[in-house]
Amino acid sequence: MKALAEGTFEVKVTSGSDTTSFSVICSNVDKNGTEWNNSDYLADANNLKGEYSANGTDGKTTVFIGDSFFDVADWGWQNFYSDYAGKDALGLGISSSTTFDWESFLLAGDTILSGMQPKNVVVNIGTNNIYDDNRAAPETVRDLQRLFTLLHDRMPDANIYYFSIAQRADTKYAAQVSAVNDAMEQWCEYKDWITFVNVEDQISASDLKDGVHPKNETYTNVYVPALEAAECKIEEK
């Protein structure tokens, strides 16, 4: 579906004797801000595209994308491939990335996500929107919803699992993080293509190795079972 004009429009749906209505907000996206400049991440994106090309299988592989939480070679999930030993799973996160970077990857002609049709897409994104780009909660929610809508459009057969934004030891934006998580949980609830995986209340400052990123054991003891509980089926190699 494509919006033909900006504005807020009421849509009424009738099925038999049941009728409901909802509002659809259509707006242009201003991509002139510095947050849309993803040049710092293009080299990593190209390398990870090669990783999927070499080791991924459409319709079978589970990919973990997003920010440093799923960057298995940098700050994040350093024990990813031991946690998922023997599983058809790839860690393709890029440190410091935001929804803007991944949206740009989606819309570009030839980059990490182009041509990729995995079985499952597991995503951790949004913390850098808030802490680095200083986006307010409503803005971050819109950015996340737009990204996931586009992701579903490009990968219609993939199951998407979205991990809640983890709180940091720095609580400056704690209220915004919780507000975004609450809104995203509600947004995902009745969609059959995306599942919200809420780990916010399971992670405290003692579970972080640097005040931001989970310790290796936090991934093993929190993230892995939370994803299993969300019924994400990761296939054997």
What tens-digit pLDDT sequence spans the chain (237 residues)? 566 665 666 777 887 777 777 555 555 677 778 888 888 899 999 999 999 999 999 999 999 999 999 999 877 999 999 999 999 999 999 999 999 999 999 888 778 898 899 999 999 999 999 999 999 999 999 999 999 999 999 999 999 999 999 999 999 999 999 999 999 999 999 999 999 999 999 999 999 999 999 999 999 999 999 999 999 999 999
Q: How many residues does the chain have?
A: 237
Looking at the DSSP bridge assignments, the partners of residue 63 are 90, 121
CATH number at residue 183: 3.40.50.1110
Residue 10 counted as domain residue: no
Residue 4 counted as domain residue: no
Helix, strand, coil shares of the chain as percentages rounded to 5?
Answer: 40, 20, 40
Tell me what pLDDT residue 87 has. 98
Residue 14 counted as domain residue: no
Residue 26 counted as domain residue: no
Tell me what pLDDT residue 68 has. 97
Tell me what pLDDT residue 11 has. 76
Rounded-to-integer distance, Cα 113 and Cα 46, Å:
10
Domain count, the chain: 1
- Token pair of 146 as six digits: 């737009």
Tell me what pLDDT residue 195 has. 98
Quickly count: other Cβ atoms within 10 Å of residue 36's Cβ: 14
Rounded-to-integer distance, Cα 57 and Cα 54, Å:
9
Residue 99 counted as domain residue: yes
Residue 21 counted as domain residue: no
Alpha-helical runs (H) found in 8-108: 42-55, 80-83, 99-107
Tell me what pLDDT residue 2 has. 61
Residue 149 counted as domain residue: yes
Rounded-to-integer distance, Cα 152 and Cα 192, Å:
11
Residue 174: give the domain boundaries: 32-229
Quickly count: other Cβ atoms within 10 Å of residue 114's Cβ: 13
Residue 144 counted as domain residue: yes
Q: Residue 34: helix, strand or coil by DSSP?
A: helix
Tell me what pLDDT residue 7 has. 64
Tell me what pLDDT residue 40 has. 87
